[in-house]
């Protein structure tokens, strides 16, 4: 008769049971290898942060382009080393500020950029060839990139010198966010068009950041986050390979975006396991031989879903531990949330503290002086091995069920994430999962008198006035001709549309006019 299995030492939020992790008798961890070499478990550079710190890329955007430009310049003065732009919902959905569907949303959850002039004001006084910029946009990513390139050309900046990342990950919109505009096929076409153009003309720019972050925020666990992200990546790779782009041309330009949740050890192990899984996928399934294709480069944002409106100062500690996990996990770029984001737009004080959190990690803790400080720790190595196994198994399941496009159309990943979110919330409500200030150590709070940043209701009217003045100043015939050429090309399924999007931007078409033209060809498909 077999003896009953011992109770686990602990169970991670993803359900990984950990036993005998702390000393003699523990299962031997996988081969550690070294940083900078396949399978990159310990990091993608041999010297990691000893050679170069991660990019401190705080996400910002609200109100008008002028307001966000002021925040950008202030963040750069505070020592931020990269910009990351948040866009409002009308910009994300391809709507002009005077569109009735945009009413009440202009400048609310990000900055409104509807024209190339808005883009110019957004980056006023900021040299595009000297600052790495992330454009965090998806359905309208190709149009925003066209505005950005048009601005660079207007300034005489060499497009080949542009550095940064276009998020451009439309599949996760169908899975987790719901801000897609077109059906899957034309959405994927626009994504691939921007990628193909960028690979040929902007070699220092990453034309996609494949995102697990939004799925994690929607309720995915760590295994789902990584597996679904890599399954989406397989779709993008296939789309570009069909266009004749070699894997070792494409591979070095693929970037990724993950969240960092509260379970410190699991999150560190997640990043290490993800590097190992990606290296195998690229080498063994896609035949990549360039180590830069096999190496997983990723940005991390601390998870907004972990922030609480109760006792908001506690969020500063949550963010600090999540940032530490991201750094110990080997991130190339990091955004740290502000502690007051569960209440309102971040104030300057809270945004500064969020950035200082990264800077203290970088300059005071000594952690960057060591390559992979957690290497060899039994708990971390065993978790890394187990997460590697589970992610690999989940990817195999996606493939066996017909691939990610088919699963998205059948809404299977959506349902699985919803089920995971429900299990998490059940744990909080039952008390099995403790959240300090919510179901643990609750105390009556005094109302906060702290000033909060708010978007003026007059902003929308101001943006509409700017838009109408923009239209009056342009050559209407040239703009209409550029849009007609775009419409004709969109109806031809194999033509790359990016050059025509750029031409429309330079002819001073607005985002609403460009997307209105494409809606007439592609139709619409919105989230439920």
Sequence spans of domains, the chain: 10-54+212-430, 468-522
Q: Tell me which H or E stretch contains 70.
A: helix 65-77
pLDDT value of position 4: 54
Q: Which of 146, 254, 154 is nearest to 201 (CA)?
A: 146
State the Rg of the chain over Cα: 23
pLDDT value of position 25: 38
pLDDT value of position 22: 41
Mean pLDDT of 292-315: 94
Q: How many of the other CB atoms lie within 10 Å of CB of 373? A: 17
CA 136 – CA 168 distance, rounded (Å): 8
pLDDT value of position 30: 44
CA 381 – CA 268 distance, rounded (Å): 10
Tokens coding 308? 């609480």
Q: Tell me which H or E stretch contains 184.
A: helix 184-201
Please name the residues in contact with 130: beta carbons below 8 A apart, sequence gap of 6 or more.
none
Please name the residues in contact with 410: beta carbons below 8 A apart, sequence gap of 6 or more.
none
Q: Tell me how far CA of residue 446 lies from CA of 222, 247, 306, 359, in angstroms.
A: 36, 57, 22, 31
The pLDDT tens digits of the residues spanning 188-211 come to: 999 999 999 999 999 999 999 999
Please name the residues in contact with 142: beta carbons below 8 A apart, sequence gap of 6 or more.
168, 190, 191, 193, 194, 497, 498, 501
How many alpha carbons lie under 13 Å from residue 181 in its C-beta half-sphere? 29
Mean pLDDT of 71-84: 90
CA 410 – CA 406 distance, rounded (Å): 6
Would the pLDDT of 134 be above 90?
yes
- Which DSSP symbol is given to 312? T
**What is the assigned CATH class of domain 10-54+212-430?**
alpha beta
Q: Which of 119, 137, 64 is nearest to 460 (CA)?
A: 64
pLDDT value of position 187: 97
Mean pLDDT of 87-110: 94
The pLDDT tens digits of the residues spanning 7-20 come to: 666 677 777 776 54
Mean pLDDT of 356-378: 93
Would you tell me the crossing angle of helices 141-155 and 184-201 to the nearest 10 degrees?
30
Query: Is the alpha carbon torsion for 42, 44, 45, 51 positive or negative?
Result: negative
pLDDT value of position 452: 60
User: 85: exposed, middle or buried (C-beta count within 10 Å: 0-12, 13-18, 19+)?
Assistant: buried
Q: How many of the other CB atoms lie within 10 Å of CB of 408? A: 20
Would the pLDDT of 124 be above 60?
yes
Contacts within 8 Å (CB) and 24+ apart, 473-476 = 473/508, 474/507, 474/508, 475/507, 475/508
Mean pLDDT of 313-334: 96
Would the pLDDT of 469 be above 80?
yes
CA 165 – CA 256 distance, rounded (Å): 10
CB-based contact 88:109 (threshold 8 Å): yes
Q: Which of 64-73, 421-430, 467-476, 507-516 has the lowest mean pLDDT?
A: 421-430
pLDDT value of position 498: 98
User: What length does the chain have?
Assistant: 528
Tokens 């975006």 locate to 257
pLDDT value of position 10: 62
Tokens coding 386? 């187990």
In this structure, what is the dihedral angle of CA atoms 131, 134, 135, 138, given to the nearest 10 degrees?
160
Tokens coding 423? 């299990």
Query: Is the alpha carbon torsion for 177, 191, 237, 404 positive or negative?
Result: positive
Q: Tell me which H or E stretch contains 481.
A: helix 476-490
Q: Which residue spans within 130-261 are E strands per DSSP?
A: 133-136, 164-166, 205-206, 208-211, 254-260
Tokens coding 306? 């972990």
Please name the residues in contact with 159: beta carbons below 8 A apart, sequence gap of 6 or more.
149, 152, 153, 201, 202
């Amino acid at each position: 008769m077999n003896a009953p299995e011992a109770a686990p030492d602990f169970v991670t939020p993803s359900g990984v049971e950990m036993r005998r992790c702390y000393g003699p008798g523990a299962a031997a961890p996988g081969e550690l290898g070294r940083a900078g070499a396949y399978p990159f478990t310990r990091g993608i550079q041999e010297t990691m942060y000893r050679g170069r710190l991660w990019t401190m890329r705080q996400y910002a955007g609200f109100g008008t382009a002028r307001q966000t430009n002021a925040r950008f310049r202030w963040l750069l003065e505070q020592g931020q080393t990269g910009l990351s732009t948040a866009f409002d919902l009308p910009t994300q959905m391809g709507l002009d500020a005077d569109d009735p569907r945009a009413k009440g949303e202009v400048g609310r959850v990000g900055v409104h950029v509807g024209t190339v002039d808005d883009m110019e004001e957004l980056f006023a006084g900021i040299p595009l060839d000297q600052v790495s910029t992330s454009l965090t946009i998806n359905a309208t990513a190709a149009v925003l990139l066209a505005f950005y390139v048009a601005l660079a050309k207007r300034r005489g900046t060499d497009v080949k010198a542009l550095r940064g990342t276009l998020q451009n990950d439309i599949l996760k919109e169908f899975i987790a966010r719901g801000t897609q505009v077109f059906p899957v096929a034309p959405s994927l076409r626009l994504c691939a068009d921007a990628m193909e153009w960028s690979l040929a003309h902007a070699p220092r720019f990453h034309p996609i950041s494949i995102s697990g972050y939004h799925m994690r925020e929607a309720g995915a666990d760590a295994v789902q986050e990584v597996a679904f992200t890599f399954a989406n990546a397989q779709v993008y790779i296939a789309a570009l390979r069909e266009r004749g782009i070699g894997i070792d041309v494409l591979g070095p330009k693929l970037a990724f975006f993950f969240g960092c949740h509260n379970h410190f050890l699991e999150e560190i192990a997640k990043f290490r396991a993800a590097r190992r899984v990606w290296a195998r996928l690229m080498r063994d399934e896609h035949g990549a031989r360039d180590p830069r294709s096999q190496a997983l480069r990723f940005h991390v944002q601390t998870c907004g879903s972990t922030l609480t409106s109760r006792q908001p100062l506690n969020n500063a500690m949550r963010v600090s531990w999540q940032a530490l996990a991201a750094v110990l996990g080997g991130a190339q770029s990091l955004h740290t949330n502000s502690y007051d984001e569960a209440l309102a737009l971040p104030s300057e004080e809270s945004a500064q503290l969020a950035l200082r959190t990264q800077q203290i990690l970088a300059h005071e803790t000594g952690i960057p002086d060591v390559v992979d400080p957690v290497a060899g720790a039994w708990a971390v190595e065993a978790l890394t091995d187990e997460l590697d196994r589970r992610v690999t198994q989940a990817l195999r399941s996606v493939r066996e069920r017909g691939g990610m496009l088919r699963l998205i159309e059948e809404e299977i990943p959506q349902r699985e994430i919803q089920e995971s979110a429900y299990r998490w919330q059940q744990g909080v409500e039952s008390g099995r999962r403790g959240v300090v200030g919510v179901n643990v150590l609750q105390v009556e709070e005094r109302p906060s008198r702290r000033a909060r940043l708010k978007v003026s209701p007059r902003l929308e009217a101001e943006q509409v006035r700017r838009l109408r003045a923009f239209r009056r100043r342009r050559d209407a015939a040239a703009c209409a001709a550029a849009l007609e050429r775009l419409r004709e090309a969109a109806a031809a399924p194999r033509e790359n549309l990016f050059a025509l999007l750029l031409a429309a931007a330079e002819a001073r078409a607005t985002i609403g006019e460009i997307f209105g033209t494409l809606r007439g060809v592609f139709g619409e498909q919105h989230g439920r």
